[in-house]
């Protein structure tokens, strides 16, 4: 009996010890937010939020292993930011118009997704320096581009734009425009292709990437004139330490020519 009693006590002690270890592990992981958890490598993980339908900036491909992968110009920048911080990068593909909420909720650490420094965004989040400037384009069906030589020719037309984007703001300035705002850029292109909208306002390199892959679409002569042509990285309001590190990386990438290399490589990949 004494041996059995000793054995039972020993088993109870082991069980209690395992339960305590499990509880401590769960308590530790439940308190971790974006940017505080450790990845497989043991490094801190920082989480990027993006809307990966914006080639050549962020888009999906099948890699050499046949796996889905998010690639692009902005993704390369995010990788460099993570590298300079000694962190592992996690990518979340989100709806474009949800990025600011995800950022301010702490579910992502930073957002890169062709974000323009609009006054509205400046109220919501803190912004990096502008790392790239570009132009906007009016995409139409091939054969109809001659109808849209100036922005005035878009008055009263049905126009497709990405929801929550600077392109939606541009469309709102066009008199009597009938605006279709959708979450995904490829859905806008399909609306245009099938005649549900007359034209679409798309960022220049993105428009070029799409028309090279979708037959029957082209870029017209009309071109919006906007002040907020540049792109920025967004971080949560008050996260100045993170923002300073982002700006340090962006400065390096602009000065050493990496930005130009990233955009060219992503553009080539987007049209394959």
Query: Can you give the pLDDT at residue 103?
Result: 96
Asked if residue 51 belongs to a domain, the reply is yes
Asked if residue 16 belongs to a domain, the reply is no
Which residues form the domain of 124? 45-133+229-270
Tokens matching residue 183: 């979450």
Asked if residue 10 belongs to a domain, the reply is no
Confidence of residue 269 (pLDDT cuts 50, 70, 90): confident
Asked if residue 99 belongs to a domain, the reply is yes
Q: What share of the chain is helix, strand, coil (3-state, %, to 5)?
A: 45, 25, 35
Cβ–Cβ under 8 Å, residues 244 and 114: no
pLDDT tens figures, 88-124 = 999 999 999 999 999 999 999 999 998 989 888 999 9
Q: Do residue 127 and residue 142 come from a single domain?
A: no
Nearest Cα neighbor of 104 from 250, 239, 13, 194 is 239
Exposed/middle/buried for residue 84 (C-beta within 10 Å: 0-12, 13-18, 19+): middle
pLDDT tens figures, 191-220 = 999 999 999 999 888 898 889 889 999 999
CATH number of the structural domain spanning residue 261: 3.40.190.10
Total of domains in the chain: 2
């Amino acid at each position: 009996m004494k041996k059995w009693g000793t054995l039972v006590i020993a088993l109870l002690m082991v069980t209690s010890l395992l339960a305590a270890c499990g509880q401590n592990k769960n308590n530790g992981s439940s308190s971790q937010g974006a940017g505080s958890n450790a990845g497989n490598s043991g490094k801190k993980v920082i989480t990027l939020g993006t809307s990966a339908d914006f080639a050549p900036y962020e888009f999906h491909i099948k890699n050499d292993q046949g796996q889905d992968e998010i690639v692009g110009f902005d993704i390369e920048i995010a990788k460099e930011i993570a590298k300079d911080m000694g962190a592992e990068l996690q990518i979340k593909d989100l709806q474009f118009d949800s990025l600011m909420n995800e950022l301010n909720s702490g579910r992502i650490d930073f957002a890169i997704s062709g974000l323009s420094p609009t006054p509205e965004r400046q109220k919501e989040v803190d912004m990096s320096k502008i790392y790239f400037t570009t132009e906007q384009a009016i995409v139409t069906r091939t054969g109809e581009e001659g109808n849209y030589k100036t922005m005035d020719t878009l008055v009263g037309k049905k126009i497709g734009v990405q929801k929550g984007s600077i392109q939606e703001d541009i469309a709102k300035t066009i008199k009597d425009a009938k605006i279709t705002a959708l979450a995904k850029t490829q859905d806008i292109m399909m609306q245009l292709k099938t005649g549900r909208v007359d034209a679409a306002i798309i960022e220049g390199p993105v428009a070029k990437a799409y028309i090279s892959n979708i037959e029957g679409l082209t870029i017209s002569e009309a071109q919006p004139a906007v002040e907020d042509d540049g792109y920025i990285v967004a971080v949560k309001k008050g996260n100045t330490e993170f923002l300073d590190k982002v700006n340090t990386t962006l400065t390096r990438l602009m000065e050493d020519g990496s930005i130009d290399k990233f955009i060219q490589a992503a553009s080539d990949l987007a049209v394959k």
